[in-house]
Amino acid sequence: MKNFHLYAITGEEFHPRKDVIDVMEEALQGGADIIQLRDKTSKKPDVLKKALALRELTLKYDVPLIINDHIDIALQVGADGVHLGQDDLSLEEARRLMGPDKIIGISTHHIQEARAAQEGGADYIGVGPIFPTKSKKDVVAPVTTNYIKEVAAEITIPFVAIGGIKLHNVDEVLSAGATRVCMISEIVGSENVQQVCSQFREKLKPYQPVNLIVNGENHELHVQSIQELVLHFKLKPNLIIAEVDGEIVDRDSWSHTPVKDGTKIELVEFIAGG
Ligand SMILES: Cc1ncc(COP(=O)(O)OP(=O)(O)O)c(N)n1
Ligand SMILES: Cc1nc(C(=O)O)sc1CCOP(=O)(O)O
Ligand SMILES: [Mg+2]
Q: Is 136 annotated as a binding residue?
A: yes
Report the complex ipTM: 0.99
For 219, phi then psi, to 5°, come to -135, 135
> In angstroms, what is the span from residue 169 Cα to ligand 2's centroid?
15
Residue 124 backbone class (left: φ over 0; alpha: ψ -120 to 50; beta: rest):
beta
Q: Of how many residues is the chain composed?
A: 274
Residue stretches of the chain with pLDDT short of 70: 272-274
pLDDT of 258 reads 83
Q: Could you tell me which residues are beta bridge partners of residue 242?
A: 249, 267
> In angstroms, what is the span from residue 97 Cα to ligand 2's centroid?
26
pLDDT of 273 reads 62
pLDDT of 272 reads 62
> Which residue, 50, 45, 63, 86, is CA-closest to 1?
63
pLDDT of 260 reads 86
Torsion of CA 35, 36, 42, 48, to 10 degrees: 80
Side-chain half-sphere CA neighbours of 42 within 13 A: 19
Question: Domains along the chain?
Answer: 6-207 (3.20.20.70), 210-269 (3.10.20.30)
Q: Which residues are catalytic?
A: 38, 107, 136
Q: Is 134 annotated as a binding residue?
A: yes
pTM score: 0.85
